[in-house]
Chain A
């Protein structure tokens, strides 16, 4: 099974989304580079996270709008929707529910090797040294946890440090999800401002994108 690599930007934005709405379930999409460097050994590099909703995750109309918009935006920025993430509202619940599997299935229809990432709510505080995510992949039409050895980090130390600094600076207040965008369409759901701040903090350069 192919490896998946998580960039600092993707990881930090997922965490910031959960931190902005700690009392709610949140979800979003994960993007990857359009074409991997070596087609014979595909490694899925998750370059970015697009925060979607913090209200009524189980309703479809705004989800359809968001999927369409993110799809078009990704294509224009040389990326593709490669995954879905969700943080449940209950502290101890990190298992993918029907919403997660349905949206995950939808993403997987268009992207072989798509991942489903559930945030591990119990590990979201800065005290844990390990990543606060569980990565799932599709095997035999079911979402099963991916072998941890196949989940790589572009720069785990840098990621963790950047997250710490962003949290200390309360940068989650700057993060815009699609719900926020629908409340005020002047807000940028691609989060250019947060991306820029993050780019200044992370040691290794992020993958080249237009945003």
Chain B
């Protein structure tokens, strides 16, 4: 009737509007999550597929140009989870949109890798490199295949050759360090990490990793170097627990080393004592009000005590 408000219709439209706002919010939250994960480069493939699959199935039209990079992101995550159908769905869309693209060809190669069709994958990458010898992504995939096949020596050789050409590629230096560590070639791993520390002097993780390698190499000189670099890592980030524990361990071992002179012993006892105090503080802070953490704190206290006893 004229003049009266149709409440049912009004309610429905309000509800529909609210739902739209909510879904908009949900959608932008999902899109932001995917972007954050892209930036952080985490390998949280399960979460990416959970969020990304829904996004591309239900909100494709709202994504605009973002959709292509999301297809790529979801495809790689899908390969990680053996979700081949989902991977193909993404790959299909990307092929349609970017025919002949090297970036998409690389994704095709990665799919072959996930199916363990390494020869087909290598053909794909060789094809890319013939057209573009500077394509670093294809070269790295070839090295990844060598890793997957357990051909570590060849992977190391190829990676070294790659780094002669692309000496600034930090990801590659880091990968090479890891390969050397796995082969127990700590001296060469240390060299790679030295390269990384030179170009990234403020990165506490490289300092800490380098210190761990030197510690593993052993001997008084390497222990002292490791103690210096654990300290350096702590200066750069005073919440790095590995560096704190590492400082404690390296200083303790140095102080109790029979070859250490009196000054070195005294200095390192000081460092170790300081580190122990900081470790205790950190665990006390972390354990406030939590039962399991109280166990941790007791364990740490006992550990520090036990290690001090062995020094005397």
B245 in contact with A90 (CB, 8 Å) = no
Residue interface mask A48-76, B partner, CB < 8 A = 1:
00000000111111101100110011001
Interface-central residue, A23, A64, A98, A170, by most chain B CB under 10 Å: A64
The verdict on A147 contacting chain B, using a C-beta distance below 8 Å, is no
Q: Are A185 and B241 in contact (CB under 8 A)?
A: yes
- In the assembled complex, the Cα of A40 lies from the Cα of B183 at a distance in Å of 42
Is B309 in contact with chain A by the CB < 8 A criterion?
no
Whether A93 contacts B181 by the Cβ 8 Å rule is no
Please, which residues of chain B bring their CB within 8 A of the CB of A186? 286-287, 290, 293
Min C-beta distance of B84 to chain A, whole Å:
15
Complex CA distance for A69 and B282, rounded to whole angstroms: 16
Contacts of A57 in B (CB 8 A): 182
Q: Does B249 contact A (CB under 8 A)?
A: yes
Complex: A147 Cα to B184 Cα, angstroms: 31
Chain B residues within an 8 Å CB radius of A22: 80
- Once A56-B178, A72-B303 are accepted as A-B contacts, the answer to whether A62 and B245 lie under 8 Å apart by CB is yes
Does B16 have its Cβ within 8 Å of any Cβ on chain A?
Answer: no
Contact in complex: B249, A64 (CB < 8 Å): yes
> Count of A residues near B, CB < 8 Å?
31
Task: Provide 20 A-B residue pairs closer than 8 Å at the C-beta atoms, listed in order of the A residue.
Answer: A22-B80, A56-B209, A59-B215, A61-B212, A61-B215, A61-B249, A62-B246, A73-B299, A76-B298, A76-B299, A93-B150, A182-B241, A183-B241, A185-B282, A185-B283, A186-B286, A188-B292, A188-B293, A188-B295, A211-B295
Chain A interface residues toward B at CB < 8 A = 22-23, 56-62, 64-65, 68-69, 72-73, 76, 90, 92-93, 98, 170, 181-183, 185-186, 188-190, 192, 211
B residues with a Cβ closer than 8 A to A are 43, 46, 80, 148, 150, 178, 181-182, 184, 209, 211-213, 215-216, 226, 241-242, 245-246, 249-250, 282-283, 286-287, 290-293, 295-296, 298-300, 302-303, 306-307
